[in-house]
Amino acid sequence: MKHIQVLKNPIQKYAWGSKTALQSLLDWPEPWEEPAAELWMGGHPKAPSNVQVDGRWRSLIEVVAVDPVSVLGAGAAARFSNRLPFLFKVLAADRPLSIQVHPHMDQARDGFERENRNNVPLDAPHRNYKDACHKPECLCAVTRFEAMKGFRAPEEILELMDQVFREVPFEELTPLRKKGNPHGLKVFFTSLMKMGPARRVQVVNEAVKGAQRIVGEDRSFHWLLELNREYPGDVGVLSPLFLNLVDLSPGEAIYVPAGELHAYLSGVGMEIMASSDNVLRGGLTPKHIDIPELLKIVNFTASPVLKQQPPADENFERVYKTPAVEFQLSEIVLNGDERFTSRKERSVEILICMAGEGQVEELAGGRSLPLRKGMSIIVPSAVPGYAVSGNITLYKAGV
C-alpha cells in the first residue's frame, strides 16, 4: 500500500454502549435498537478494519501481511513481527463497564500457552487469555468521562468505608487497619472477592443503606448507588470506595498500565492500546470471573491518578505520552488557515475526524482526500509526508 486510504471499521455492540453517540459521529440517521459501544480501527483478528486497495475492500490484516514494510515501516515491521501493534477505538459508554485488569507481557504469554495446552477453545466464555500480548492503554476524554483507576490510599479507603458502614462493623477491613500497605490491600481485596453469597449480599445492602444516607457528600457514594442499580448485590458495587474515582474533562487523558484495576463508567473517549484482547474481570459483569488468576495479575500498590492535558505544539498537535512502545495518541485541532504537517520519520498512522471537515494531502505527488466527521484514514509508512488543513478536529494513532 503506497497511498493514504479510507478505512471501513467494525462496530462492537455491547450492552453498556450508547444508542446515539457513535451514530451521531458517523452521521447515521436512525438510532440503533442495540447500543453501539466501540468503533475499532486496526488489525485485531477479532474485528479488523477493511481498506480499499486496487479497487476492492480487503482486511487490514491481509494488507499488512502482503507488504508489512510498506505499511508499517521497516523498523516497526521488525520490532512487532509484521503486525500493526496498536488498536485504536472510539468508546461510548452509557453504562459502566466491568472492573478489569490486563496482564503484562510475560503473564499474557504464560497464560495463553497454558490455556492452549489445556485445550481451552479461543472462544470459550471461561477463557482468560485470547492472545499472548499485554494490553497497556490510554484513554482521552471526548466528552466528560468518569472512570475508576487504581487503588486509593489505605487511609482514604478506611475513611470512606467507615462513613458508609457507620452503623455496622465491616470486619473485612481489619487487615487494612493493621497493615496499610500493599499486603494489607491484597488481603482486604481478597476477602472481598471470596465472600460467600449471603455475606456479599449483606455487605452490599448495608453499603447501599449507608451511601443513601450521605450520597450528597462525595461522588463515590453516588456511584456506589448507581452501580447497585446496574448490578445489585455485586461485590463491585463497593469499588468506588477502594478505587480512585476519575473525572476527565474533554482533552484530558489517563494511562492504564498492566496490573491496574480500572473500570470506565460513562462518557465518550478515544482509547488506544496494544493490540490485545486479554481481560481479567473482577466484578460488575455477568461474564467469567477467575478470582485466583485475577489476584495473580493485580498490582496492589496504591497510586494517585495522573491526568495529562499537554499543550498543542507549533504544529497544532497535542501529544499524549506514555511508556508504551506500541502506540502514541495525539489530537490535532485546526482552525481554517492552520495546517498540520507530518514528521518525515514516522511509522504507520491512523487518523479519525471527530468534528468539522478538511482535507489530507500527500506531499509527494499532491494526491488529496476530503475529510469529514466520522471518517478515518490510514497513512502507510510508504507515504513520504502529508499535510492536513481545514476547520477540523482529528485524533491520530501512531507507533
Asked if 149 and 246 touch (Cβ cutoff 8 Å), the reply is yes
Nearest to 202 by CA among 226, 227, 169: 169
**What is the grid cell recorded at 382?**
510508504
In 152-252, DSSP assigns E strands to 243-248
Inter-residue contact 262 to 128 (CB < 8 Å) = no
Which backbone phi and psi does 272 adopt, to 5 degrees?
-130, 140
Please, are residues 237 and 113 in contact by the beta-carbon 8 Å criterion? Answer: no
Distance separating alpha carbons of residues 128 and 392, to the nearest angstrom = 40
Count of residues making up the chain:
399
Task: Give me the sign of the Cα torsion angle 159, 161, 190, 105.
Answer: negative
- Maximum CA extent, the chain: 74
Residue 310 and residue 16: Cα distance in Å, rounded?
A: 30
Which one from 229, 281, 367, 372 is the annotated catalytic residue? Answer: 281
281 tagged catalytic: yes
Q: Please give the Cα distance from 162 to 372 (Å, whole number).
A: 52
Which CA distances in Å does 193 have to 50, 107, 187, 346?
A: 41, 21, 10, 45
CA 87 to CA 110: how far, in whole Å?
22
Active site residues: 281
